Amino acid sequence: MAEASSGTPAAASRTGGPDPAALLAWYDRHRRRLPWRAEPGLRADPYHVFLSEIMLQQTTVKAVGPYFGAFLARWPSVSHLAAAPLEEVLSAWAGLGYYARARNLHACAKAVVDRHGGRFPDAEAALLDLPGIGPYTAAAIAAIAFDRPASPVDGNIERVISRLYAIGEPLPGAKGAIKARAAALTPPDRPGDFAQAMMDLGATICTPKSPACSLCPWMEPCVARAEGDAARYPVKAPKGEKPRREGAAFLAVRADGAVLLRTRPDKGLLAKMTEVPSTPWDSRAGAKAPARAEDHAPFPTRWRAVPGAVEHVFTHFALTLKVLRADLPAATPAPDRHRWVRPEGFGREALPSLMRKVLAHGGVE
DNA sequence: CATCCGTGGGG
DNA sequence: TCCCCAAGGAT
């Protein structure tokens, strides 16, 4: 066991396996500079690591950048974030998607303050107990922020490991084997850098479609590369069809420019986010005698169809939304649980991208 | 273990 | 155009 885990090039050539030191050397030369990362050799702020890791879940580095900066400027510490109203966190998060992350981010900040005195725990198990922090994020924070011997496995690392060892079992079944391989490779001295090195390798060299194997520090030990087609890993289970739903949104616009909005329910899709009132979204297959859209209108008036429609794709279904617009006097009152909001106030609303599309399609803003 | 949960960009 | 994907978690 001791010889297999020694990270010297000699040991690697003896065993034929990948050498962690080779990857770390590559990382020291080619690491990405990212807003949440510390300078080489320094340890990143746990709050920065936490915030970035939550934002980066299923989300690209490019998309996260502006949000990370805005959050850090507005809430410089976990205590500031914990003290913020949830509505403000949601409106700041609007557009980034997966809004349960924002709710959990806020709940987690409060838990860190309440249960840990405002300091993040450094133990993986304690991190795992926090809302919104799962196996990946717990290991990532432990390794990156505290240099604890943890082995986070994200999509990048799944891809790198599955190619390195040519793991033919499809995901997600292969996750256990991949995690075991990753843990076995993790060097005890630089676990945080090693995790980030694997992610950088996956993001810049060992990419999903056409990996740049000739530039890879692990080209020689990579079994998939030796087979000749690294891109066929990781093997994944086939995906099902994406159903389609449709509905209509009611864009009521007052003479003073205010638009009628409301807050979505506490659970489910876009929970607690702001929406333009709309009909339920029905799957078009089973709807044979759909009720008239006007039956779901916030109030009876002359609704006029805006030409065209809004198309939006969620993770598990695609949506076509017609927009019905009505122009009303400035004195029109808001129905129960609705509110009038002028465009200057949109920035304080938790408007998801779909609702931005609806507003734009209806000629607002 | 399967499903739900957003969004925007790239091949 | 369409499909895939991006530092996953909760239930």
> Would residue A295 count as lying in a domain?
yes
Question: Residue closest to C11, CA→C1'?
Answer: A268
Number of domains in chain A: 1
CA of A257 to C1' of C3 (A): 39
Q: Could you check: is the Cβ of residue A159 within 7 Å of any atom of nucleic acid strand C?
A: yes
Q: Is the residue at A48 inside a domain?
A: no
Q: Answer for the pair A91, A348: CB distance below 8 angstroms, yes or no.
A: yes
DSSP A7-54: --HHHHHHH-SPPHHHHHHHHHHHPPP-TTPPPTTSPPPHHHHHHHHH
Question: Is A53 one of the annotated active-site residues of the chain?
Answer: yes
Which residues of chain A between 290 and 319 are close to nucleic strand B, CB under 7 A? 312-316
Residue A12 has pLDDT above 90, yes or no: no
The reply to whether the CB atom of residue A204 sits less than 7 A from any atom in nucleic acid chain B is no
Mean pLDDT of A339-347: 98
Determine whether the distance from the CB of A58 to the nearest atom of strand B is below 7 Å: yes
CA of A336 to C1' of B11 (A): 48
Question: Can you say how many angstroms the Cα of residue A85 is from the centroid of all Cα atoms in its chain?
Answer: 22
Name the residue closest to C10, CA to C1'.
A132
Residue nearest to nucleotide B3 (CA to C1'): A316
pLDDT band at A284 (very low <50, low <70, confident <90, very high): confident
Whether pLDDT at A346 is above 60: yes
* Mean pLDDT value across residues A230-251: 94
Give residue A158's pLDDT band: very low, low, confident or very high (50, 70, 90): very high
Q: Residue A117 contacts by C-beta under 8 Å, 6 or more apart in sequence?
A: none
**Which of A3, A39, A53, A241 is flagged as catalytic?**
A53
Q: Helix/strand/coil (H, E, C) string of A193-230?
A: HHHHHHHHHHHHCCCCCCCCHHHCCCCCCCHHHHHCCH
Instruction: List the domain range (segments joined by +) for residue A258.
Output: 244-361
- Using an 8 Å Cβ cutoff, are A252 and A328 in contact? yes
Characterize the bridge pairing of strands A318-328 and A244-254: parallel
Contacts with A29 (C-beta within 8 Å, 6 or more apart), sequence order? none
A5 occurs within a structural domain: no
Q: Is residue A169 part of a domain?
A: no
| Inside any domain, residue A10 | no
Domain for residue A298, yes or no? yes
So what's the pLDDT on residue A4?
35
**What distance in Å separates the CA atoms of residue A9 and residue A67, rounded to the nearest whole number?**
41
Question: Mean pLDDT for chain A?
Answer: 93
- Closest protein residue to B7 using CA and C1' atoms? A97
Q: How many Cβ atoms sit within 10 Å of the Cβ of residue A311? A: 12
Could you tell me which residues are beta bridge partners of residue A321?
A247, A310
Instruction: Read off the CATH number of the domain in which A338 is found.
Output: 3.90.79.10
pLDDT band at residue A2 under the 50/70/90 scheme: very low
Strand B: which nucleotides have any atom within 7 A of a protein Cβ? 1-9, 11
Distance A171 CA to B6 C1' (A): 22
Kindly report which amino acid residue has its CA closest to the C1' atom of nucleotide B11: A209
A135: cis peptide before it, omega within 30°?
no
Q: Which nucleotides of C are covered by protein (CB under 7 A)?
A: 3-10
Q: How far is the CA of A157 from the C1' of C1 (A)?
A: 31
Q: What pLDDT score does A19 carry?
A: 97
Query: Measured from the CB, is A95 under 7 Å from any atom of strand B?
Result: yes
| Whole-number pLDDT of residue A9 | 45
If one counts every other C-beta atom within 10 angstroms of the C-beta of residue A159, the result is: 25
CA–C1' gap, A105 and B10, in angstroms: 29
How confident is the model over A301-331, as pLDDT tens digits? 999 999 999 999 999 999 999 999 999 999 9
Confidence of residue A292 (pLDDT cuts 50, 70, 90): confident
Q: What is the pLDDT of residue A15?
A: 62
Q: Which nucleotide in the DNA or RNA is closest to residue A136, CA to C1'?
A: C8
Per the structure, the residue whose CA is closest to nucleotide C7 at C1' is: A56
Q: Residue A234, preceding bond cis, omega within 30 degrees?
A: yes
- Residue A346 maps to a domain: yes
> Is the pLDDT reported for residue A239 higher than 90?
no
Residue A11 has pLDDT above 50, yes or no: no
Nucleic strand C within 7 A of Cβ A208: yes
Percent residues over pLDDT 70 in chain A: 94
Q: What is the mean pLDDT of residues A55-84?
A: 98
Closest by alpha carbon to A112, among A139, A73, A141?
A141
Distance CA A254, CA A259 (A): 6
Least confident of A98-112, A182-196, A227-241, A277-291: A277-291
Q: How far apart are CA A342 and CA A115, in angstroms?
A: 40
Portion of chain A with pLDDT greater than 90, in percent: 90
Q: Kindly state whether residue A87 falls inside one of the protein's structural domains.
A: no
Name the one residue in this structure whose structure tokens are 């075991």: A180
- Residue A1, pLDDT > 70, answer no
Residue whose entry in the numeric block shows the structure tokens 């980066």: A56
A270 touches strand B (CB under 7 A): yes
Any atom of strand C under 7 A from CB of A205?
Answer: no
Name residue, tokens 């998939």: A224
Is the pLDDT at A177 greater than 90, yes or no?
yes
Q: Give me A287's structure tokens.
A: 């709807």
pLDDT higher than threshold 70 for residue A3: no
A13 has pLDDT over 70: no
Residues, chain A = 365
Give the pLDDT confidence score for residue A204 in this predicted structure. 97
pLDDT in tens, A130-142: 999 999 999 999 9
Which of the four pLDDT bands, split at 50, 70 and 90, describes residue A290?
low
Task: Concatenate the DSSP letters of all residues of A86-106 into one string.
Answer: HHHHHHHHTTS--THHHHHHH
Q: How far apart are CA A157 and CA A195, in angstroms?
A: 8
Cα A55 to Cα A104: distance, rounded to the nearest angstrom: 11
Q: What is the mean pLDDT of residues A10-36?
A: 85
Instruction: Please write the tens of the pLDDT for every residue from A37-65.
Output: 999 989 999 999 999 999 999 999 999 99
